[in-house]
Structure formats: structure tokens, C-alpha cells
Structure 1
């Protein structure tokens, strides 16, 4: 690390900030269903997820290699390009977190890298084949595969337990949910923490610290694992609410099926080096589990907003990153301006989130719900007595009668 420059240090810190936002943005992937079904308390759930994310970061470096030596051509890429890419990814993550939308942190990072590279060196800097085979195709396939697997698994669990005692069955599946949630957390650390490792490794290569094609150093693996674990422990409560109660109403059997299906897809892709979105995999599994139960429904209005966010992630993060790269290309003042804008906009998003805070105390409430009001008690309609002279008197009725209101009636006294 003797060649570590100030700019390179800034890029590494920014990458770890992105890793932190990735952690709290994607906590919902592992724990939303576990929390919504009551299998675990919210704070305990995110604590367990944080530990397993840290462990998962040490299990593989295949996804990191895809980013550091596959997606972007290392030759000719400046360190400023990586900084601009991270700015685009962080701002998109924070914006979608504010809206409570489970968009893909992975695709935000990919979009940022692609947009900044295109602005810097053009199409020659991006490996189109890698984008198609290891990003776009998995992005389309993962939620479908996870959704179908979760739907079939849900149907199977209900069929197996159709003659069992409902309470004991639910208790057993809650235990299964905790185990499967742990597996998803482990898979998330294995897949997503590696993306930050890959970015830092790419920055070290462009800065001349590492040789092209080098594996992530141990300190990079440790720091990326710690950053994503801390972000996970913070808890992305807004997105947990959307995933847990906004998409569908889940029972323990469905939660178990969704998490097991998602974990299987994520771990298989990590082994193959496919850098898919854990968010899309888990969201697809939740929807599949919702459809797998008889009478189960998916709230398609929420799902539609989520699909739109998925489609916008790559281009939106790419456009922001391209703009940031344009500024950083102007010199040191451009880099400083981008850093100031990142801090200012991030602070503004945080302040906006405090207007309607979501935390572990209200994470299972329906979106937009308030404290329940006292039931209305209405009185019987008053009787207005009118005599022939036109004079009238109102006699209020003393006894409550129901929940509807009728207009006052007039009785004429002859």
C-alpha cells in the first residue's frame, strides 16, 4: 500500500460507504419475511443477519473477479472513474431507500461503473459480453427462477402439512425460517460484499498498487465484510416494511419457502461467478410464495413500483455516474465538487427520511398507517319540534344508537 494516494484513499472510503448502504438497503432480503411472520424480533433478526453477512464475505472471491477483471477493462481506466461510479450507486441506493423500494444495489453499482466508463473512454472500456451473460441474463432469470421455486415449495409445504396441527406446524416453520434467513444472509455476504471487494481491487489496479488480474488482498476482504455487516445491523426498516408486508401477507410456511428458494439461487450464482441481484431474487421468491398459498395474493401496485425501480436502476445510476465523471475530468476542483455534492444530497435524503421515520417499532405496520383511532360513537338524531307559529326547539337524544348519522327530522305540532 506504499503507492496509496489521497484520491485512491477517498475512493476506497467511498467504496466502503457504498458497501454500508448496500448492507442496510438489502437487509430486507434476508429478514423481511422472518420479521413480518413474527419468527424473530426485529433487532435480533438484523443482528444475526449482520454476523452472517460478515462470515459470507470470506467464502468466495469469484464475484469480485467478475467486477475487477471482467466487467470493465482495467487498462486506461482512471481512479476518478471508479469514484464517479460509486457516487452514482450510492445516491440511487439512498433515493430508493427513502421511497422504501427494494431496488438492486448490485445493478446500481454496475450502472455506475458502466456510465462512468462510457463517459471516460467510450464503449471500448466496457466488456459487452460480460454485461449480457453475467448481469442482464441473471437479472431477468433470477427473480423468475426464485419465484417459481418458491411457489412450488409453498404448495408442497401446505400439502405436506394439510393434516397437521396448525399451531405446531407454524412453530416448526418459524424455526425453519430462522435457519433459512441465516442462509440468505450468508449468501448475501458471499455475493454482495464481493462486489465492493471487486471495486476496491479495481481501484488498486488502476492506481498501480496491484497487478491486473490480482485477487482482493486480505485487508480488502475484511474491510468490505465489516462494512456490509455494520450496514445490515443498522437495518433498512423502510425496505423491510415493503418486502415483509407491502408485497403480500406471508405465513411461516411461505416465509420458509421464499427464503430457502432465494438462498439456493443466490449461492448457486455466486459459485458460478454470476453477479445477480439478491434483491430481485428475494423479491421474486416472496411474490412466488404469495401466489403459492391458496387464497394468497400479491399487491401488484407495490410490485409494479418495484419493477419500475428495477428497470431504472442501471440507466439512472449510470447517468448520475456519467455526470460525476464529467466533473471529475475537469481536475481536482471537479473531484472536490462531486464529493461535496455527494455529502450534501445524502444529508438531504436522510433529513427527508426523518419526516416519517420507520424503525423496528413500526416496521410491521401497513405503509402509511397511523395509530388506530378510537371507534366513533354517534348519538341518535336530534328531534326538532316546530309549532305552527314557526318557533322551534331542538331536543338532543341522550342514547347512542350506532355508527351512522341521519339528518335531523322535524315534527310539526298542530
Structure 2
């Protein structure tokens, strides 16, 4: 076995940065409806989710093994710089969709980045196409539908059984149920999503000759990946929490409880089977299903349509960025350095743009303005402010 090189260390750090972005990008999966109904305060909710994400990272390694030896062929000549390029593609897409407030899939961003980089670096034989279809694409389509149907049925049953219950008592009960089900989703998220970073780090260690092929993630990898996703979760992805909690439909405690329970059951089952599905898609599908299940509720299909479009774009978009990064990284040390600099510059620009229109724990429950598509939102966020009004014109105040 070889010792770790500087490049392997850089890839590991980059993987943990992706894990961190995954945490704040996907906090909404567990806590959006809990926050929107007032079952938990925003800060308390993200703290609880962070702790349970960390705990969930220790429950299984099946998804990690799907990443490290299932999606790409670890014996096809994949080098650490290829994995680095794929991670950069995933991080950039995560940051762009976070800026737009779109709950796209961090998982599919990771898969897209890795696939794009691998195709450029070693060719199509480096991809296990059957694994991509069976363990990524089919679950991507089926899981949100299954979670949505389950949430729809459960919501209708819940309202039917609660017709004669005292509304205030029922609301209190379902708020408590929301807290429990949100905790279960957080645990499931740690079990599924933290493992993806474990798999990437393990793949890096295998390709660098540090550990043997087909190895399970070492304990230090499990601990570091769980810690990174927990810290990201605690930061709170307030923009996406607002979209899921307020932008898709108006959520009552009963709906929040059924949506989160359906999502948790779907995610935990998939983790046990080694399906690296998108917890974002599952949770969003469950929220839409809960909206359909309550008579009189309105599902905002324009927002849902933009979300689905972002889901469809995630794999190819992250793949294109990963492929471009792989072309540069393959040039040697200067190429790897340039990829790192460009990635940092893009992320810094996105972060700067986000500060101009902040969404925080203080305003996360405000009803979103009429949403824009991802490109328009990003352009609006980075465009210069309008010129100051003349002395003869009175401008309306703006809100964050």
C-alpha cells in the first residue's frame, strides 16, 4: 500500500467540502415542513437535524460501496485528479441551485460530476452503465413518485380519521409527530447522503493505492464525512427550506407529519438496498403528495415544474462541469491548481450574490415572491443594483 500523497489529501478535503454543501443544501429535506408549521423553531430544528445526520452516518455502508465500486470502475485507470474534477462539478452545481433556492439533488450532482470526469479521463468503459440505470436513474424516477403517493394516501386517511377530533388537540399531537418524523428523516439523510462522500473518499484511497480494492470505508472516513454533513446541516440551507416549506404548498401539521414519515420510510428502505437515491427528490415528492392529499390545498405547480426541470438538468450539468474540470486537471499540477482556483472563484461569487438577497432563520417562513427559473434567479442575484431614483421619483421599499 502507498502512503497518502498531497493530491489524495486535496481530493479528500474537496470531498468533505462537497459533504458540507450537501448538508446545508439538504437540510430542507428533514426540517422544511417542521419549521413552516412552527413545530420547531428554525435554529432548534437545524441543530437537531445536524446531530441526527451525524448519528445516521454510522448506521450503514451499503450506499458508500455503491459509490466506491458500483457507479465507476475503480480498476479502469481512474486517478485521484479525476475524482477531484468530479467533485468540483458537483460543488459548483450545488452552489448554483442553492442560490436559486431550488431543491435539486446533491446526490445526482455528485454522480454527474464523477461520470462526466470519468468519461473524459478514461472513456465509457470506466462507467458501470447497468449500475447507473438500476441504482441511480430508476430510483430517481420511482422514489419521489412512491413517496408522493404514500404521502397523499396517508394525508387523506389522517384527515378522515381526525374529522371528529378536537382541532387544537390534533394540531398539538401532529406537531409532536412532526418532530419525531423529522428526526427520522434526518437520521435517514445521514445514513444515505453521508455515505456518498464516504464512498468517494474510499474510491480515492483505492485509486491511490492506500487501501485495497473493494474495501469498506475506514472508521476515520465515516467520522469525518458524518461530521462534515452535520456541520453543513447546522448552517441551515434557508433558501431551500423556504421553497419546500412555503413554496410548494401550504402545509398543516398533519401534512408535515405524513410527508416526513413517507419520505423517511422510502429513504431508509433504499439505504438498506444500496440505492443511492436523492433524498431531496423523495422529500419534495412527499410534500407535493401531502398537498394533493388535503382537500382544498393548492399545489404550486409552477414551482414544482421548475424543481423537476432542475432535477433533469442536474446530472448533465454537473457532468459538463466535471468533464471540463477533468480536461484541465489532466494537464498536470498547473491544471489541478487552475481547477481549484476557478472553483473557489465561482463559489465565492455565488456566496457574494446570496448576501445581496439574504434568506435567514428570521425570514425563512415568509412566503416566497413569485419564483423565477434557476437561470433568471441567478442572473438577478448577480446583476448590479438599479440606479438611485431621481429626486422627483419615489421608489417603493424592497425586502430581502
| TM-score using structure 2 length | 0.92
The alignment partner of 2:356 has SS state of coil
Q: How far apart are 1:183 and its partner, in Å?
A: 0.1
1:182 aligns with 2:156: no
The alignment partner of 1:297 has SS state of coil
1:17 aligns with 2:20: no
What are the equivalent positions in structure 2 for 1:225-304 lying under 5 Å apart? 225-304=226-305
What are the equivalent positions in structure 2 for 1:7-406 lying under 5 Å apart? 7-75=7-75, 76-368=77-369
Once the two structures are superposed, residues 127-159 of structure 1 have per-residue CA deviations (whole angstroms, 9 ceiling, x without a partner) of 000000000000000000000000000001101
| Residues 2, 208 of structure 2: 8 Å contact kept | no
Once the two structures are superposed, residues 208-245 of structure 1 have per-residue CA deviations (whole angstroms, 9 ceiling, x without a partner) of 10111000000000000000000000000000000000
2: distance between equivalents of 1:228 and 1:51? 10
Q: How far apart are 1:42 and its partner, in Å?
A: 0.3
2:381 maps to what in 1? none
2: distance between equivalents of 1:56 and 1:340? 33
Q: How far apart are 1:367 and its partner, in Å?
A: 1.4
1: distance between equivalents of 2:315 and 2:69? 20
2: distance between equivalents of 1:189 and 1:271? 13
The alignment partner of 2:142 has SS state of helix
More strand by share: 1
Aligned residue pair count: 369
| Residues 55, 190 of structure 2: 8 Å contact kept | yes
The alignment partner of 1:162 has SS state of coil
The alignment partner of 1:366 has SS state of coil
Q: How far apart are 1:366 and its partner, in Å?
A: 1.2
2: distance between equivalents of 1:64 and 1:190? 10
The alignment partner of 1:364 has SS state of coil
1: distance between equivalents of 2:122 and 2:51? 40
Q: How far apart are 1:275 and its partner, in Å?
A: 0.5
1: distance between equivalents of 2:135 and 2:46? 29
2:374 maps to what in 1? none
| TM-score using structure 1 length | 0.88
The alignment partner of 2:110 has SS state of helix
Q: How far apart are 1:368 and its partner, in Å?
A: 3.0
The alignment partner of 1:240 has SS state of helix
2: distance between equivalents of 1:49 and 1:115? 32
Once the two structures are superposed, residues 167-218 of structure 1 have per-residue CA deviations (whole angstroms, 9 ceiling, x without a partner) of 1000000000000000000000000000000000000001110111000000
Once the two structures are superposed, residues 330-350 of structure 1 have per-residue CA deviations (whole angstroms, 9 ceiling, x without a partner) of 111000000000111100000
2: distance between equivalents of 1:212 and 1:129? 20
2: distance between equivalents of 1:3 and 1:339? 23
Once the two structures are superposed, residues 2-46 of structure 1 have per-residue CA deviations (whole angstroms, 9 ceiling, x without a partner) of 611110000000000000000000000000000000100000000
The alignment partner of 1:73 has SS state of coil
Q: How far apart are 1:354 and its partner, in Å?
A: 0.4
| Residues 2, 209 of structure 2: 8 Å contact kept | no
| Residues 190, 226 of structure 2: 8 Å contact kept | yes
The alignment partner of 2:336 has SS state of helix
| Residues 99, 350 of structure 2: 8 Å contact kept | yes
CA RMSD of aligned residues (A): 0.8
Question: Relative contact order (C-alpha < 8 Å, sep 6+): which is higher?
Answer: 2
- After superposing on structure 2, the runs of 4+ consecutive aligned residues of structure 1 that deviate more than 3 Å are none
The alignment partner of 1:101 has SS state of coil
Bigger-Rg structure (1/2): 1
